[in-house]
Amino acid sequence: MEEKIVYFEEPGPANTETTLRLAAERAKARGIKKAVLASTTGETARLAVKLWAKSGIKKIVVVPHQYGFMFSQRFPPELVSELAKQGHEVHFGTMLFHTDGLYGMNTPTMLANLLRTFCQGMKVCVEILFMAVDGGKVDVGEQVIVVAGSGRGSDTAVVAIAAPSTRLAELHITEIICKPLQTKQGLPPKMPPPPPPEKKP
């Protein structure tokens, strides 16, 4: 099996429309009807609803920041109602990779940093999928599209088999659709040029 992965030279919101388009194309190819989408302010959620209106994605589970993560909730309450009228859901769950203070151990941060070696969006994809399953918005074992980004907008999309946070080993990232080259640690080092071919005597 061969499939294309798109790599963005820079992370960030400039990649949002392309990411959403690629996600819709892969959803259609796989017959996937549900997507889990990270959206902090609602801007990405509004764009996804618009761009996916005529796609195979029929249900979007939008996952903003949990209440109390910042000084105020940035996701507009009126958008929650607006999305519900269109058949979508907004889930405000516990952000599992930010629970070090609760459990008194750094395991959540270690797992988050491991996922950030792919990119920041990969960490968010896994986190919001766990949140959506834990909240009953996605079924265990359900195949979904997951879309997230690096701070703002979207730049990472995957196909995943969903699992709850209590059964980590049952989560499967089956396909990477797109991601930025840059990880949380920065740009990958440039590979040295190949050695010149040996001269034949």
Per-residue pLDDT of 181-198, as tens digits, reads: 987 656 655 666 777 777
Domain span holding position 95: 6-180
Asked if the structure places residue 191 within a domain, the reply is no
Phi and psi angles of residue 153, each rounded to the nearest 5 degrees, phi first: 70, -165
Of 141, 146, 101, the closest CA to residue 127 belongs to 146
Asked if the structure places residue 132 within a domain, the reply is yes
Please report the sign of the dihedral spanned by the C-alpha atoms of residue 27, residue 37, residue 11, residue 52: positive
CATH number of domain containing 55: 3.40.1380.20
pLDDT tens digits, one per residue of 133-175: 999 999 999 999 999 998 889 999 999 999 999 999 999 999 9
